[in-house]
């Protein structure tokens, strides 16, 4: 008798948990500390560097999350009273520097006026430091005492932070004029945590209520001045988040780009 083999559907996220702590109990694998993530990140960074060196466009798949960053950088530069002053940017969870490469592609004449720092885990910092000229990007594994920045940027990061409210408060303590969050999993849903399947790992992942996030910023003196839907490609789905395995009340259609400005 020939056995029939039915391929199990693959879902990016599975399960609904009330708290991050509950989801952590079912976490498996090394996640973003594993070899697969590191190899894919390095390949993407090198592809972008080759494009820059060849005066070719960075592939859109790699830069789609950072498309608003050059606009915010240009806007912040225009607000500087002293045009010769340095613009400071903190890229939280910035990986191997694609967020930096996107403004460099479109603002090559002004990029020398940008002081760009990336916060990452020590393993990523070690690799990142080998990809760029000395001091082109400052890699650090924590926020240093007395640091302040003009712009804070975080791309597809907030959803992996257990106490995301505390992180946003920490951002405000750095007194940036602008805070840009890209690829944010937030909308008109009740906040919950799910597990993201990533190459054999299962990683806790927030889906947030947008009003809760905006109110957290408002409490520390930042107002939402721009909301835009993010483009993406996940499991051959263009832009629409594949969440058909979730109840309707838990589904988000698209992620968001959110720009906050400090109250004057």
pLDDT in tens, the chain (264 residues): 333 344 457 899 999 999 999 999 999 998 888 788 889 999 999 999 999 999 999 998 899 899 999 999 999 988 765 666 799 999 999 999 999 999 999 988 888 899 999 999 998 999 999 999 878 999 999 988 888 999 999 999 999 999 999 999 999 999 999 999 999 999 999 999 999 998 889 999 999 999 999 999 999 999 999 999 987 766 566 678 999 999 999 999 999 999 999 997
Distance CA 58, CA 63 (A): 7
Distance from the Cα of residue 153 to its chain's centroid: 8
Number of Cβ within 10 Å of residue 6's Cβ equals: 5
Distance CA 186, CA 178 (A): 19
DSSP 132: S
Q: What is the CA radius of gyration of the chain?
A: 19
Distance CA 118, CA 135 (A): 12
Distance CA 203, CA 32 (A): 9
Distance CA 139, CA 215 (A): 31
Note whether 172 and 222 are within 8 A (CB). yes
């Amino acid at each position: 008798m020939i056995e029939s083999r039915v391929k199990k559907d693959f879902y990016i996220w599975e399960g609904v948990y009330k708290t991050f702590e509950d989801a952590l109990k079912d976490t498996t694998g090394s996640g973003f500390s594993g070899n697969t993530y590191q190899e894919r990140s390095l390949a993407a960074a090198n592809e972008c560097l080759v494009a820059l060196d060849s005066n070719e466009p960075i592939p859109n798949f790699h830069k789609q999350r950072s498309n608003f960053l050059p606009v915010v950088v240009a806007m912040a530069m225009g607000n500087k009273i002293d045009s010769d002053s340095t613009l400071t940017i903190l890229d939280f969870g910035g990986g191997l520097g694609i967020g930096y490469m996107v403004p460099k592609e479109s603002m090559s004449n002004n990029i020398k006026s940008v002081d760009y720092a990336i916060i990452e885990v020590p393993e990523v910092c070690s690799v990142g430091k080998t990809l760029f000229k000395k001091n082109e990007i400052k890699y650090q594994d924590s926020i240093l005492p007395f640091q302040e920045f003009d712009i804070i940027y975080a791309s597809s990061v907030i959803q992996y932070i257990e106490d995301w409210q505390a992180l946003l408060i920490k951002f405000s303590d750095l007194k940036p004029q602008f805070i840009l969050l890209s690829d944010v999993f937030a909308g008109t849903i009740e906040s919950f945590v799910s597990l993201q399947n990533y190459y054999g790992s299962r990683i806790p992942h927030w889906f947030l209520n947008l009003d809760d996030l905006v109110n957290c910023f408002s409490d520390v003196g930042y107002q939402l001045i721009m909301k835009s839907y993010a483009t993406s490609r996940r499991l051959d789905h263009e832009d629409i988040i594949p969440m058909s395995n979730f109840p309707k009340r838990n589904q988000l259609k698209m992620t968001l780009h959110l720009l906050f400005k400090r109250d004057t």
